[in-house]
Amino acid sequence: MSGDTKRSAADLGLPSRIQLIEVGPRDGFQMEDRFIPTELKVETIESLATAGLREIEAVSFVHPRVIPQMRDADDVMAKLSRTNDTIYWALVPNLRGAERALAAQVDGIHQVICCTETYNRKNVGLSIDESLAQLGEVVELARAEAGGRRDVVTAVTMAATFGCPFEGQVDDDRLVALALRLADSGVMQLGLADSAGLGHPELVRRVTAKIRHAVPQVSLRMHLHDTRGLGIANAMAALGEGVTRFDTSLGGLGGCPIMRGASGNIPTEDFNNLCLEMGLETGVSTEGVVAASTRIQSFLERPLESKILRSGTRQQLYAANR
């Protein structure tokens, strides 16, 4: 008596291959008060790569006074074994950060722009126009590096696409206009972020569809915080619109340094497990991610948000009741 719980992705009208981008070592670790030693950062990143994650946002190159937890970014990058084919991303806030990131041999340069003036000023002290000019310079720098020596991928994430805690929800037309300007900058990937977890599935579906239609030339990447418990429902809505790239975080770590009340990202192990059960390929081992989360949970001495971390997978739940 074991019914068909999986279907082929084509049957479901969903993409068949999902790319998870692990952002816990950056978005998650940066929110922790307790300094995570460089060795533990490296060990975690490498165990995530071993679990099958082929894109990992490993560090950010920000000023150590702003985000002290990332003060060892150079060291982390230097110590990472680069024998596997994992793409290591860095978040950078400006040209100086991008130069440091490229010197540290990152594979991907990720920038953020906020969808409202208030949030952008709080985040980087610039207007949206000023940020757009700066983003373009960084993309150019990465492109020059790529031309000279090796591939460097670029991404820009639109923070607060699905709700700004300072100004409310931005009109769809303005979001689309910003996406078009970003696509014109030459950036290869565009992130749509629910930075505060204010979105809901119908909002995500509608806005994602409009932006995807407006900028078909860039690859979309969803970044969905789970503040109100809607992270996975929102991801399902984006999946339904054909998005294949998702930021997730081991254990559900993460938050937002300048926004009250925001909580972590979609837990990598939870979303990976869901994808696998629905028959969508990720190449990632849920058990491998759980092992990394367990190690970090034990270091942080508090329970992480991931439900799979607490309950186990479907197979483990079956086994516990046999």
Angle at 52 between CA 4 and CA 288, to 5 degrees: 75
Select from 29-37, 40-48, 170-178, 290-298 the region that touches its own copies (CB under 8 A): 170-178
For tokens 């060892």, the residue is 72
Residue 299 phi, psi dihedral angles, 5° rounding: -65, -40
Site membership for its own copies, residue 166 (CB under 8 A): yes
- Cα 248 to Cα 28: distance, rounded to the nearest angstrom: 10
Return the bridge partners of 281, or none: 17
Which of 201, 214, 219, 291 lies at the binding interface for its own copies (CB under 8 A)?
Answer: 201
**Cβ closest to its own copies, residue 75 vs residue 167:** 167
Residue 207 CB, nearest approach to its own copies (Å): 8
* Among 36, 97, 103, CA closest to 72: 36
Site membership for its own copies, residue 267 (CB under 8 A): yes
- Cα 112 to Cα 92: distance, rounded to the nearest angstrom: 8
Which of 138, 170, 222, 238 lies at the binding interface for its own copies (CB under 8 A)?
Answer: 170
Which listed residue (114, 115, 164, 256) is catalytic?
Answer: 256
| Active site (annotated) includes residue 256 | yes
Return the bridge partners of 246, or none: 20, 222
**Cβ closest to its own copies, residue 141 vs residue 193:** 193
Q: Which two tokens stand for residue 187?
A: 């950036």
Q: Which two tokens stand for residue 172?
A: 């769809």
**Cβ closest to its own copies, residue 186 vs residue 240:** 240
Site membership for its own copies, residue 274 (CB under 8 A): yes
Which of helix, strand or coil describes residue 167?
coil
Select from 17-25, 135-143, 190-198, 213-221 the region that touches its own copies (CB under 8 A): 190-198
**Cβ closest to its own copies, residue 141 vs residue 178:** 178
Interaction residues for its own copies, span 69-128 (CB under 8 A): 116
Q: How many residues does the chain have?
A: 322
Residue 46 phi, psi dihedral angles, 5° rounding: -70, -35
Are 240 and 260 in contact by the 8 Å Cβ rule? The answer is: no
Site membership for its own copies, residue 257 (CB under 8 A): no
Residues in contact with its own copies by CB under 8 A are 1-5, 7, 12, 116, 163, 165-172, 174-175, 196-198, 200-203, 206, 226-230, 232-233, 236-237, 259-263, 267, 270, 273-274, 277-278, 306-308, 310-314, 316-318, 320-322
Active site residues: 256
